[in-house]
Amino acid sequence: MNRQIRRLQEREERLQKKTGVAPKTAAAKPAAVPRRVRAPRASVPQFLREVKGELAKVGWPARQTLITYTMVSLIAISVLTAVAATLDGGFQYLFYKVLLK
């Protein structure tokens, strides 16, 4: 709801409180809620055809881009695993040497 419509509704509500008469504008009437109509279910082969059609619309990366991103991910995971293992070993060493001395 934008600012102008909100101001118009507030103005109409103030007018209604003062006069006790509801304004005769279309915005003051509650809108009829349409009933939701269910679409018939698709069969499994039709669903699979539609999925295939949607996947054809997807912009897939080039093979070299995919290889590059995979390598970056594997290197990042390896580095973070090494950092976590080093910190774990360091804390374990400190725990046993300092606290259990």
**Domain limits, the chain:** 61-101
| Residuewise pLDDT in 10s, the chain (101 residues) | 688 888 888 888 888 888 876 656 555 556 677 788 887 888 999 999 999 999 999 998 999 999 999 999 999 999 999 999 999 999 999 988 888 77
Q: What is the pLDDT of residue 29?
A: 59
The tokens for 74 are: 């594997």
d(CA 26, CA 12): 12
Alpha helices in 1-101 (DSSP H): 3-19, 44-57, 63-94
Q: Is the pTM of this model over 0.75?
A: no
State which amino acid sits at residue 81: T
Q: What is the pLDDT of residue 66?
A: 95
Q: What is the pLDDT of residue 79?
A: 98
The tokens for 47 are: 């669903």
Query: 25: which DSSP letter?
Result: S
